[in-house]
Amino acid sequence: MGRQIKWIPKEGGNAPPSASQSKWLTCGLTQAGGKLPLFDEFGKLVSDRTVKV
């Protein structure tokens, strides 16, 4: 995946996404409608914490 997500901070001091969050969000760039996967590349369910944050 050669695309990079550029983090733009919002007012209120939000932190940038973690490495795992960035990786997960990048997966949505190649999906129809930007849908994010429920499972990682190994078939493991993506953490609820990653999804909710």
* Residue 3 Cα to chain centre, angstroms: 12
* 53 residues of the chain, pLDDT tens digit each: 566 666 666 666 677 888 888 888 888 888 888 888 888 889 999 888 888 76
What pLDDT, on the 0 to 100 scale, is given for residue 7?
A: 65
The pLDDT value recorded for residue 49 is 83
Tokens of 51: 């999804």
Domain range summary for the chain, segments of one domain joined by +: 19-29+37-52
User: Which pLDDT belongs to residue 27?
Assistant: 86
Task: Please tell me the predicted confidence (pLDDT) of residue 40.
Answer: 85
The structure's pTM equals: 0.60
